[in-house]
């Protein structure tokens, strides 16, 4: 059964999950700057209401696919912050044994089919999941997260067109954060709203305020019901904003600091929801501060867990490469175990 936002407790839980996403990425930002986290990271701060609102409308049996900006989607779908952070640290306890890092997190137990660092790659993956659901007469849907930049990719059109034509149980959630890497929206698209494109596929196109967790939840819940009823996919455009650069280290020459600060001050999704709950008499300042302290403690523990987790054995890099054992791979693995070599041919 899907979660709801129908009770004060459920609404406070949604606010806590948005805080968790924000604080998780605060820690990732800081630890990456300290060179504790290897690789590359892309943060979704400012977009928390989309991840939490959409995933609140889903059940444990539903699946999601995600982008290179996947931390919020993963936490909202139910992944634990300690194991997710361990994955970013490249540790054995991570969801992919430390092989995936920030941009390749997957956990089938929680319905997370995978983050896709290739722009738009989450869309055909989600359509494929929708085909599986339809062929097996399953009672679940696939929800695809992708960005506004990805909608210009050819594979995205192919996948949405196929899902529409075959009436697949898929919900496409396009997070329009207004910047495709370093390009403004109107530099890349010749429409005012991406949802206009849905008409070309013959499916509903919904526009939702991506800073409003309730609006996102209600829109995705309705799209999910439509998909389960056999009426096919819905294209949901969530208008939102990212606070950080495209990647950590991005100097952001394409926008001003004042623009970011204005969004943070006027349209922050956590502040907006906190104010809404407070106005309804469902959240006091003391309750909010206790919630924030609880999230901070959770993340303190997650950081220590990730820091102290075991490093994966080098030969484990060969795990999960092939379904059937491959003699050459097994030989490389054994060579690394016995002599600590590079596992290759020595050149």
Q: Please tell me the pTM assigned to this model.
A: 0.94
| Burial status of residue 91 (CB atoms within 10 A of its CB: 0-12, 13-18, 19 or more) | buried
The pLDDT score that the predictor gives to residue 336 is: 81
pLDDT value for 347? 42
pLDDT tens digits for 232-260? 999 999 999 999 999 999 999 999 999 99
Nearest Cα to Cα of residue 147 among 266, 259, 242 = 242
* Rounded-to-integer distance, Cα 58 and Cα 70, Å: 17
Residue 310 to residue 120: CA distance in whole angstroms: 33
- Work out the burial of residue 126: count CB atoms within 10 Å of its CB; fewer than 13 is exposed, 13-18 middle, 19 or more buried: buried
Please identify every stretch of the chain with a pLDDT value under 50, giving residue numbers as ranges: 346-347
- What would the pLDDT profile of 104-157 be if each residue is shown by its tens digit? 999 999 999 999 999 999 999 999 999 999 999 999 999 999 999 999 999 999
- Separation CA 147–CA 9 (nearest Å): 31
pLDDT at residue 97, rounded to an integer: 95
Q: Are 26 and 6 in contact (CB under 8 A)?
A: no
d(CA 187, CA 255): 13
């Amino acid at each position: 059964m899907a979660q709801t936002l129908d009770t004060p407790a459920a609404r406070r839980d949604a606010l806590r999950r948005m805080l968790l996403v924000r604080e998780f990425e605060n820690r990732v930002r800081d630890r990456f700057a300290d060179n504790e986290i290897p690789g590359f990271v892309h943060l979704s701060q400012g977009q928390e209401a989309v991840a939490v609102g959409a995933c609140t409308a889903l059940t444990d049996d539903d699946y999601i696919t995600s982008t290179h900006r996947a931390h919020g989607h993963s936490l909202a779908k139910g992944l634990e912050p300690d194991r997710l952070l361990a994955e970013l640290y490249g540790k054995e306890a991570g969801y992919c044994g430390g092989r995936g890092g920030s941009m390749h997190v997957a956990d089938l137990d929680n319905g997370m089919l995978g983050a896709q660092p290739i722009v738009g790659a989450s869309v055909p993956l989600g359509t494929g999941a929708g085909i599986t659901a339809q062929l097996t007469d399953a009672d679940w849907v696939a929800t695809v997260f992708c960005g506004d930049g990805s909608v210009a990719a050819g594979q995205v059109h192919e996948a949405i067109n196929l899902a529409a034509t075959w009436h697949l149980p898929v919900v496409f959630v396009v997070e329009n954060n207004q910047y495709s890497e370093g390009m403004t929206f109107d530099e890349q698209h010749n429409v005012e709203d991406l949802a206009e494109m849905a008409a070309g596929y013959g499916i509903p196109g919904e526009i939702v305020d991506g800073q409003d967790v309730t609006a996102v939840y209600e829109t995705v819940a309705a799209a999910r019901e439509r998909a389960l009823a056999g009426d096919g996919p819905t294209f949901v455009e969530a208008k939102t904003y990212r606070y950080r650069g495209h990647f950590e280290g991005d100097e952001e020459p394409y926008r001003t600091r004042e623009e970011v600060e204005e969004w943070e001050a006027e349209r922050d999704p956590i502040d907006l929801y906190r104010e809404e709950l407070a106005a309804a008499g469902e959240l006091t300042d003391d309750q909010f501060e206790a919630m924030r302290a609880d999230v901070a403690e959770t993340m303190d523990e997650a950081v220590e867990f990730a820091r102290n987790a075991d490093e994966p054995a080098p030969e484990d890099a060969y795990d999960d490469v092939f379904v059937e054992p491959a003699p050459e791979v097994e030989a490389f693995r054994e060579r690394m175990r016995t002599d600590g070599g590079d596992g290759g041919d020595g050149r």
